[in-house]
Structure 1
Amino acid sequence: MNNSNPLLKEFEYAPFSKIKTEHFKPAITQAIEMARKEIETITNSEKNPNFQNTIEALEFSGNQLDRVTSIFFNLNSAETNKEIQEIAQEVSPILSEFRNDIILNKALFERVKAVFDKKDKLELSAEQQTLLDKKYKAFARNGANLPAEKQEELRKIDKQLSSLSLNFGENVLAETNKFELHVTREEDLKGLPESFKEEASSVAETRGKEGWIFTLEYPSFLPFMKYAENRELRKKMALAFGSKAFHGDELDNRENVLQIVKLRYKRAQLLGFKTHAHFVLEERMAETPEKVNGFLEELLEKAKPAAQKEFKELEDFAKELDNIDRLEKWDAAFYAEKLKQRRFNLDDEKLKPYFKLENVINGVFEIAGRLYGIQFNEVTDIDTYHPDVKTYQVNDEDGKPIALFYADFHPRPGKRDGAWMTGYKSQYVKDGKQERPHISIVCNFTKPSKTRPSLLTFNEVTTLFHEFGHALHGMLADTTYPSLSGANVYWDFVELPSQVLENWCYEKEALELFARHYETGEVIPMELVQKIKESANFHEGMATLRQLSFGLLDLSWHGIDPTGITDVKTHEDKAFEPTKLYPDVPENCMSTAFSHIFQGGYSAGYYSYKWAEVLDADTFEYFQENGIFSREIANKFKSVILSRGGTEHPMTLYKRFRGKEPSPDALLKRAGLLKK
């Protein structure tokens, strides 16, 4: 081990304060060599291959590399800079090459295959069987059975893909950071809440300018679109947001999109699959693109009439209110908010004082405690990568430590948009020792101002609960093998723990625990809780149509042969046709900033959000039947779903928990799209 590089020493917690940017590349290079030696030991063993000396040994190899790369790539998402981005471009192809060196190692594959071929005689546990299947498929599905020249082609494709994906993400981040709407006249702020104006004023101040500055970061962009009465400025913001990486300049992502989808298709074909979607979905609950399309079409059929009715109502409302003849995309949030206020007398600004960030965090901790008997204690002696990051020791009912939890809540220039859960250390059991996980959630919520704490919109509250649901999946993991632990499950199952937790945000019993006015301490009035519940299905048809449009766009890129596609925008417009409500905006293109599928892991998988909604509605119905804080159902959910990770097929786990397969009816009923 290198004594001067903190990443190459043994460490329990990520040593952020000791890491310098120049440590990363040597640490990754050296950790690859260490992992390579471990692989060589397995491959060159003179002992006959068995489950322990081949499959388990392979599973636990490269631990140091995993920890170093998780730190590095998490920082590249949450606290990046030019140097880190350059290193990412350098090391990604090297890592891709190393992964291929393992997958395409003939002698190693022969050992894995020898164990796989006699699996029926091995008396393995369900978890061991899953691990064996997963290891074998990792080779077979990624070229181990290909002849040498095709393996070489695969290596080239993987190298290109890792670089293109990084480049795509860097362009989106650069575009987000580049734009600012600088407002100097007070009258242009009409409609905007005082707290929001104050935040924009402080942004301008930090940039050395007079007036107010609005950006494309969500806490700035979304309220502006919802409240700004100046239609021209809304249009300016919407065009900037919708045209990210679509300007024909050095940050344009069109070529990246076309190259990525064509390389993914070529890769799938090389491996004997019809399309990239066929390759991906073989390892998903949905199984085939045909099944996914059928699922999306079924929901589209139910949601479209409701969405069209809602859209017509919104058009009429905008006409009546402001004589708007043609409703545009930059009018959507503004008039929807006005209509919602009229119908329910409910607006985010009325709710925000009850959702002080610290209270919501304590609330989600309290709910997790009531359901799963866990406790969270803030600790200040754990290294973090930014002063905003908080750390918590998580203990079980007996006070025994079960996880470390990092939380990073506010936007900054080095952080990508959105919200996500990740980890710095996996949970597993090795040599009889239980290793507990280090889990992190990263969000982009409004920062505290000079006069107010960070107050969340209701949408931000549900986002926090969502990511915390993912975190629980990681924190409550109890498996033997790291690759089957926590959120390492099929991607159309991974959203169940996150989406199901959002349901508690709408329940009186849960809201009373944390929704208190930040100045008076008053518990949220029951009429507001009632209005939150009543408004939960507001524009549900349009919201469903929007989600379906993203799923259909994803499949349109990955479920076909894309080699004939030459124009990104034309292709996208065609994919959006069945779900289209608003007039098209020629300047805008979603694909060029669709990071979930071109930078994240959701390619051929965006449908997962709706798929998991079926599971979560069905699951929450079970809780409601028994009480939302039922320890019996919570224990069952914890022991059968949360703690088991990917140790068995998700449908097997789900049926064990629920006693039956999930039905879409619970979702359609909850969304008000099913006649009761």
Structure 2
Amino acid sequence: MAITLGTAFTACNVNEPAKQLEVSDNLLIQEWEGAYQGVPAFDKMKLEDLKPAMEEAMALNLKEIEAIANNAEKPTFENTIVAMESAGKAFDRVATYYYLWSSNLSSPEFRKIQGEMAPKLSDFYSKISQNEKLFDRIRTVYEAAKENPLEAEAQRVLDLTYTRFAMNGAELDSAGKARYAAINKELSSLYTKFGNNVLADEEGYVTYITKEQLGGLPESFVKASAKAAADRGKEGMYAITNTRSSMDPFLTYSDERELREKVWKNYYSRGDNGDEHDNNQVIVEILKLRDERVGLLGFDNYAQWRLQDRMAKTPERAMEMMETVWPAAVARVKEEVADMQTVADQRGDKITIEPWDYRYYAEKVRKAKYDLDSDEVKQYLQLDKLREAMFFVAGELFNFNFQPVPEGSVPVFHEDVKVWEVTDKTSGEHIGLWYLDPFARPGKRSGAWATTYRSYTTFEGKKNVLSSNNSNFIKPAEGEAVLVSWDDATTFFHEFGHALHFLSSNVKYPTLNGGVRDYTEFQSQLLENWLATDQVINNYLVHYKTGEPMPKELVQKIKKASTFNQGFATTEYLASALMDMYYHTTDPETIDPDTFERETLAKLGMPKELVMRHRSTQFGHVFSGEGYATAYYGYMWADVLTSDAVQAFRDAEGGFYDKEMADKLVKYLFAPRNAMDPAEAYRKFRGRDAKIDALMRERGFPVPKEM
């Protein structure tokens, strides 16, 4: 689950032409043309154009920055901060293509370019963040605003800009700046290497099975696996790919224990196979460089530096929240394992529960305890109907209408991608476009994420939003429905929550479309809760063959089992979040990742029957970039906010579709993006700070007495 935010030091307002600098005829740097205020030319992009376009765009952006830094006029908000917000449009256009190739269409040819560009991009960012004249101007405006504060949005963008530069070494001396920039360059290459190593192991470890080995697997999964094998030249076989969307259902349903073990080990060994794609040493180098870099700024560790502008503020506060939940989660795992072992013993399966057994026997327990069959539930979870349900929710809460655009009217980068126009239901006003890229394929990174190709701003005229959701569902055989698990349906709603956050933006300046990492997951986690509302269940969760709505008895079973397996889900997540924090609060000179992971989890009392959701060597959130480094805890931080906010809807007269609550939801939690301090925004919505007790109750955990 991941968000792609705008680039660090340039505007996201990519459709506005660069006013004084001409660009070449390279397609990737050209202004976007066509309807909807112009859209990326995804159908015409060529990889050979990418590197020269990136280099040209960086050079243009640096010229813009130099012009701002060397302006002879006295620094003002308009000629410094607003000018910076306006800069970088050509770069943003090219970066859209670059990051699309990286996430959705990677190839050996692209990875070669990526390896060459990573240090150049790092240099580019450093030349901006360490431009002394530019920072002097920013600081002058910042100090002046202490005496005469600006209007709210202008003050917010000024504060964020100043803090961003200060956090990235703008106040260092020349030697410090040079080393800081050199570290960033080294890190950029290591991040690229880490991500590509994981991708290589996802592509390289495919398990092929025969018809005789299909025992227990649902029909829809069998058909999708047959297609996956055929697509790889293995007609007549069945491919279990090394991605979560394939691994998870296989481990849940397959009766073949030895194959479950093989698939489990393939997946959880990514980046940890002792070969050319092994990430252990890469992690060591990343940790040492991060530690050295923040040491230049006077911080004790990376986590201390990173969390200073987050909601948690300190590593200690983040750890305190996680450690409040951890004991209850681990205790629940012990109960779950005991239940599973009982089922295994009753079946005569002479085994002791191992990690590759957890999902399989949990499913047996679910059936025994709640008479709930996950495969039966899947029959009512069609991808297309779920999308319609999301559109319904968006209409009810946000007043949005989604209509498919005429085929061919908006360029797409793959035949699987579909596009919808988003308008206001009442006024008909155009808001933006929503792209959906739903299926897994070679070269596409695993997981699910949301991104924008253009963000809403008004400071140079109103700009529409180009948003995208990306998933890795297994593509079905021709004419077959895409059936997904309840967890995958929840993730689909989650990522759509990010898209709604983009589409509901009502900010003036590009920088304000960013976010505070331990807050940006809140809005998307909140939207997950509408999947289980009666309006969605009764109208969109229909049987893929008969069209009959989900029976009330099955709905009740789902709701009754809502806290089932929360030990597993919470513990595997928290283990990753805690490891992230321990990695970044420990002297890296003492860390060997394999040993450190094993020993730290042992000290925490990690149950042996499961592993971290993201083992260290495949933890892309943390080691293929910096967006979630020491911030993976943010999902639970956001979950505290989510549970508390959900309670507000439950208490409202109109429940989850209460009009007054929906208006407050949009006004305070979605539309402001980062134009308002998150804590203040939440208090405006709720009337108080969030409490953790709602989260504990939702997961079926005991609420601590002090809560």
**TM-score after normalising by structure 1:** 0.96
TM-fit CA distance, 1:589: 8.8
State whether structure 2 residue 428 is matched by structure 1 residue 419: no
TM-fit CA distance, 1:321: 2.3
Of stretches 115-124 and 105-114 in structure 1, the one that deviates more from structure 2 is 115-124
TM-fit CA distance, 1:579: 4.3
Indicate the RMSD between aligned Cα atoms, in angstroms: 1.7
Matched residues in 1 for 2:131 and 2:144: separation?
21
Correspondence list, 1:209-248, <5 A: 209=234, 210-248=236-274
Correspondence list, 1:588-627, <5 A: 590-600=615-625, 601-626=627-652, 627=655
Equivalent residue letter for 1:290: E
State whether structure 2 residue 692 is matched by structure 1 residue 638: no
- In the other structure, the counterpart of 1:402 is 431
The 3-state SS of whatever aligns with 1:423 is strand
Compared CA separation, residues 134 and 675, structure 1 to 2 (3 A): closer
- In the other structure, the counterpart of 1:204 is 229
> Structure 2 residue aligned with 1:6, among 8, 27, 41?
27
TM-fit CA distance, 1:534: 1.1
State whether structure 2 residue 215 is matched by structure 1 residue 190: yes
Equivalent residue letter for 2:25: S
Matched residues in 1 for 2:647 and 2:351: separation?
42
- In the other structure, the counterpart of 1:56 is 82
The 3-state SS of whatever aligns with 2:632 is coil
Q: Deviations over 1:308-331 (max 9, x none)?
A: 222222223223324344211000
- In the other structure, the counterpart of 1:28 is 54
Q: Deviations over 1:399-437 (max 9, x none)?
A: 111121111100000101100011111211123x11122
Does structure 2 retain, via aligned residues, the 8 Å contact 1:555–1:604?
yes
Does structure 1 retain, via aligned residues, the 8 Å contact 2:355–2:609?
yes
State whether structure 2 residue 468 is matched by structure 1 residue 443: no
Matched residues in 2 for 1:589 and 1:108: separation?
40
- In the other structure, the counterpart of 2:12 is none
Equivalent residue letter for 2:224: E
Does structure 1 retain, via aligned residues, the 8 Å contact 2:251–2:260?
yes
The 3-state SS of whatever aligns with 1:77 is helix
Q: Percent identity?
A: 36
Matched residues in 2 for 1:416 and 1:198: separation?
23
The 3-state SS of whatever aligns with 1:269 is helix
Compared CA separation, residues 211 and 304, structure 1 to 2 (3 A): closer
Q: Deviations over 1:498-529 (max 9, x none)?
A: 10111111222221231111222211111111
TM-fit CA distance, 1:448: 2.2
- In the other structure, the counterpart of 1:280 is 306
Does structure 1 retain, via aligned residues, the 8 Å contact 2:693–2:703?
no
Compared CA separation, residues 114 and 82, structure 1 to 2 (3 A): same
Of stretches 577-586 and 258-267 in structure 1, the one that deviates more from structure 2 is 577-586
Correspondence list, 1:445-464, <5 A: 445-464=473-492
- In the other structure, the counterpart of 1:266 is 292
The 3-state SS of whatever aligns with 2:519 is coil
Matched residues in 2 for 1:211 and 1:45: separation?
66
Segments of structure 1 that go 5 or more residues without pairing to the other structure are: none
Correspondence list, 1:130-529, <5 A: 130-184=156-210, 186-209=211-234, 210-379=236-405, 380=407, 381-397=409-425, 398-431=427-460, 433-485=461-513, 488-529=514-555
Compared CA separation, residues 269 and 589, structure 1 to 2 (3 A): same
> Structure 2 residue aligned with 1:656, among 684, 688, 693?
684
Matched residues in 1 for 2:703 and 2:166: separation?
47
Alignment size in residue pairs: 670
Compared CA separation, residues 222 and 589, structure 1 to 2 (3 A): closer
TM-fit CA distance, 1:675: 5.7
Q: Deviations over 1:199-249 (max 9, x none)?
A: 222222233323222111223211110111111111111111111111111
The 3-state SS of whatever aligns with 2:700 is coil
Matched residues in 2 for 1:290 and 1:2: separation?
49
- In the other structure, the counterpart of 2:35 is none
Does structure 1 retain, via aligned residues, the 8 Å contact 2:343–2:364?
no
The 3-state SS of whatever aligns with 2:472 is coil
Equivalent residue letter for 1:289: P
Equivalent residue letter for 1:447: K
Does structure 2 retain, via aligned residues, the 8 Å contact 1:192–1:224?
yes
Does structure 1 retain, via aligned residues, the 8 Å contact 2:507–2:672?
yes
Matched residues in 2 for 1:451 and 1:424: separation?
31
Matched residues in 2 for 1:585 and 1:367: separation?
35
Q: Deviations over 1:514-565 (max 9, x none)?
A: 1111222211111111111111100212321222111111011112221221
**TM-score after normalising by structure 2:** 0.92
Equivalent residue letter for 2:617: T
The 3-state SS of whatever aligns with 2:436 is strand
TM-fit CA distance, 1:479: 0.1
Matched residues in 1 for 2:307 and 2:484: separation?
37
The 3-state SS of whatever aligns with 1:492 is helix
Matched residues in 2 for 1:498 and 1:118: separation?
37
Matched residues in 2 for 1:583 and 1:219: separation?
21
Does structure 2 retain, via aligned residues, the 8 Å contact 1:446–1:455?
no
Q: Deviations over 1:165-199 (max 9, x none)?
A: 01111110110111121223x33221111221222
Q: Deviations over 1:596-650 (max 9, x none)?
A: 1111421101111111111011111111111111121111110111010011210
Equivalent residue letter for 2:57: A
Compared CA separation, residues 362 and 584, structure 1 to 2 (3 A): closer
Equivalent residue letter for 2:231: T
TM-fit CA distance, 1:17: 1.3
Equivalent residue letter for 1:458: W
Matched residues in 2 for 1:641 and 1:22: separation?
42
